[in-house]
Amino acid sequence: MAGKAVVSLATGLEDPERVTVAFLVALGAAEQGRPTLMFLTKEATRLALEGVATGVACDGCPPLADLLARYAKAGGRYLVCPICFDARKLGKSGLIEGAELGGTVPMWQWIGDEGATTFSY
């Protein structure tokens, strides 16, 4: 099995190109068979809600909705910072497929002793 990948994303749709790049990196790992986790914090927590990650970041960029669909199909998971999520008064019932609330302890448990390749955006 290929090694794990963790992509940490703190930016939301205020910077859609950064979001697109983070999803492209995570998608590349997931589609290559790597167990992949996106750790969403700050404004990125909103991306874990149905209907939020939409639009196209730039001319020639793939639609965010397509990236999310491919990431889900490849088995990608999301860990959403519960402190950030609750501070924004977001609703847990609207979480997208593969998303769950969890902080740094569950992230480190998921990584485990084998380690992971990490990216931060």
In DSSP notation, 67-97 reads HHHHHHHTT-EEEE-HHHHHHTT--GGGBPT
In this structure, is residue 60 part of a structural domain? yes
Residue 1: its pLDDT value, please?
57
CA distance 38 to 51: 18
Element (DSSP H or E) covering residue 34: none
User: What's the DSSP call for residue 53?
Assistant: S
Number of domains making up the chain: 1
Q: Are 27 and 70 a contacting pair, CB within 8 Å?
A: yes
Backbone angles phi, psi at 101, to 5 degrees: -75, 135
Residue 72 contacts by C-beta under 8 Å, 6 or more apart in sequence? 96, 97, 98
In this structure, is residue 50 part of a structural domain? yes
Q: Range of 85's domain?
A: 1-9+27-99
Which CATH number characterizes residue 54's domain? 3.40.1260.10
Starting at the edge strand found earlier in the chain, the sheet holding 77-80 runs: 99-101, 77-80, 36-40, 4-9, 116-120
In this structure, is residue 117 part of a structural domain? no
Residue 20 contacts by C-beta under 8 Å, 6 or more apart in sequence? 57, 58, 61, 62, 64, 67
Residue 12: its pLDDT value, please?
97
- The model carries a pTM of 0.95
Residue 33: its pLDDT value, please?
97
In this structure, is residue 42 part of a structural domain? yes
* Ordered mean pLDDT values, 10 residues apiece, the chain (121 residues): 91 97 98 98 98 94 97 98 98 95 97 96 97
